[in-house]
Structure formats: structure tokens, C-alpha cells
Amino acid sequence: MKNNKTVLLIGISGVYNYGCEAIVRGTVNYLKHKYNNCNVVYASRNVEDDIKRLKGCDIKIINRPFKKWSIKNIFRKLMSYFNMELEFQIEDLSLLDGVDEVYSIGGDIYTLDHLNKCSKSFPLFGEACIKRGIPYVLWGCSIGPFTENPKLEKFFIKHLNKVSEIVTREQKTMDYIKSINIKTPIRLFPDPAFLVERTLVRNEVATKINQIGINISPLSALYYGMSIDDAVSENVKFITGLIDKLSCKVVLIPHVVYDDLYNGDNVFINKVYDSIPENYKGYIREVDSDPGFIGVKEEIVKCDVVIAARMHCAINTITCNVPIVFLAYSSKAIGMSQFLYGSSEFVIDMSMINNVDIVKILSKVKGHDFSRFLEQIDIKKDEK
């Protein structure tokens, strides 16, 4: 092997999702620590935008081409009309030229979506890496459970036994992997977002809640089969209810900035804010800029507690030493809460946001100090 190892990061489309930005930044920090003088390359579908967003990150960003109208994709689409699901490896394998190791950095690539489906295309790319003798590592990931889709589970049992290593961010994945008898080496390691430089950390722990940060996501509507309008109504009721009960200020914090109602937190938050009754708007402020994972910390540290739907917004909050409550639209929130608090007590199911005693939950979590927890994360980072 050449003196300077080259590691390819691949699996996300771009870092307009602040969580993806954090994964890239944290993974680079980890790899530079683990492999002295290694080269880290990130394959992006949004190169120009990602270069700006990853300013200061010691990484080479290359184009990850995607041919929507390739012969394979056209054939797959035609077969779908006959209820035949065919999936192919569609990545450009020239991405592997000169690469010594591949890290899959899409944290949710190996989980079921709201339709109980999961694409096989990217896992098949992983198998192409392995066939070429290049180690393929599942990094910072959640996996499964695929129980609701037995046919898919059968595929992933075979696939997971082929990968080089599984590094998961939660005990829930560890337990699932063991239950389906995967023989691949697996270890538990903090989400890469915990390894991003901590530029802002709140030193004073609040004993009273004056300001709450809220991160809401349109994905909640998809996962629970709600219309966007119904999801907006539920969130308006939740936010105004908090103000009624606590007389607090509210900051609406996006963690995915994207011009799409079904993906962008910013677009969804605008829709919710526009639906808030005028007599409440004096208590509410939107973060309407696009500061990125590091920049948005300036808003988080002003809050006494944050309630977050996006897991990486929750992690960003934790690293700022601000108490967090999880709004769960998927099982990964439960795993993260158990990792952090040792229980799922501070997880609110999105379908139940207006049927829980939120005041009781906030009274228990306020003032929580993550200093000791964050010190332990630093110790883990030192492991090589």
C-alpha cells in the first residue's frame, strides 16, 4: 500500500443537510487522527455548494456523477410497470481509482423508509468495492430493523456478512445485528457529528426555561402518513401550547436547508410560522439564514432547551451542552436517547406531540449537564 492512505467518503448527496455536513467534518477529524497524513476524498452530487459549506475542512471534494437516463435506470423503470423490482449498482466505479478504503457515510442508507422499503443500489456498490479488494466500512450508521420486509431482510443478511466492518452509533443497531447472526466485526462508536470541533459550548446550565429551540421536519408527515397541512396544524398547536404553558420565547431552527417542502426544514418551518396566530408571533422567531452546522450553534447556545426532530440537530445541541428532547419520527431517536440518557424518557413520538405532558418532560430535562458525557466522547476519539 502507498505511504499515504486514501479514503473515499460516499453515501450522501450533499451537505445542505447540516447533519451530513457534520458527518463529513467529524469523519475527516477521525480519519486524520487514525491514519497519519491520510488523504480523504468525498464524492458529492453538489460539488460547488459543498465546497462552500465545507470551508476549512481538510478534504478533496470530487463529483459523484448520476445518470438518470442510463440504460440500467430505464430498464429498471420499465420492469416496475410489471411489478418487477430490479435494482443495480449505478455508481461510477472510476470513483474507486487510487482508493485504499471506502467509508459509507450515509447514516440512514441501511434503514427502512416510511414505505418499509430500502434501496439495494448503494449496498451493491459496496459489494463492488469488496470484489475489487477495497475494504468497505459502514460508518456511523443505523441498520434496520428490516423485520417488516422479510424479503429485504434476507438480502441484507447476506450483504452485511460481506462488508469489512460495521461501526454503529447506537445500541439498538448492535442488538439487531446480533439477532440476525451477522458475523462481520461490529463496534459501537459515537456518531461522527460528535467529533466536529466544539466552537461554542454553553457553560451555564439554565434552571429556568425562558427560550426553547424547536427543530421540526416535514419528514414527520411522510413517516406518519399525514398530509403536510395536517402536520403543520399539529406543529402549530404544539408550539402555541408551549407558549401558553410556559410563557417562553421560541426559536424555530432548521437543520436541513433545501428548496423542497418535503425535505427542507426551512420551507416547512416557514409554512408553520405563517400559520401561527398573530397574537403568538411576538414570542416566536425563525432562523431564516443558512449558517451551517457550526454557525447554527450560535442560535442553539441561546436556548435553555431544544426540542429536535432531526437527530443531528439533537447532536449539535448536545455538543453545545444544551438539554435536548427528541421528536421521534423513526427508531433512531430512541437509540440516541438511550445512548445519551440511558432511557427513552425524553423521546416524544411525533404522532403524540399534543398528547404528552410536555411541561413534565421539560422540567425533568432542564439543567441537564453533558460535560462529563462529552469528555468521554473525546476519550473515544483518541482510540486508534
- The domain spans of the chain are 6-195, 211-375
State the Cα–Cα distance between residues 238 and 236, nearest whole angstrom.
5
Which of the two residues, 114 and 234, has the higher pLDDT score?
234
Side-chain half-sphere CA neighbours of 377 within 13 A: 22
Query: What predicted TM-score, i.e. pTM, was given to this entire model?
Result: 0.89
Structure confidence at residue 67 as a pLDDT band (50, 70, 90): low
* CATH fold match for the domains 6-195 and 211-375: yes
Q: Which residue from 190, 185, 209, 166 is spatially nearest to 367, judged by alpha carbons?
A: 209
pLDDT higher than threshold 90 for residue 350: no
Backbone angles phi, psi at 266, to 5 degrees: -60, -40
Segment holding 186, helix H or strand E: strand 186-188
Which of the two residues, 145 and 4, has the higher pLDDT score?
145
Q: Which residue from 272, 259, 264, 255 is spatially nearest to 215, judged by alpha carbons?
A: 255
pLDDT attached to residue 211:
97
- State which CATH number among 3.40.920.10, 3.40.50.970, 3.60.40.10, 3.40.50.11930 fits the domain covering 6-195: 3.40.50.11930
pLDDT higher than threshold 80 for residue 199: yes
Is the CATH number of domain 211-375 3.40.50.2000? yes
State the Cα–Cα distance between residues 238 and 53, nearest whole angstrom.
32
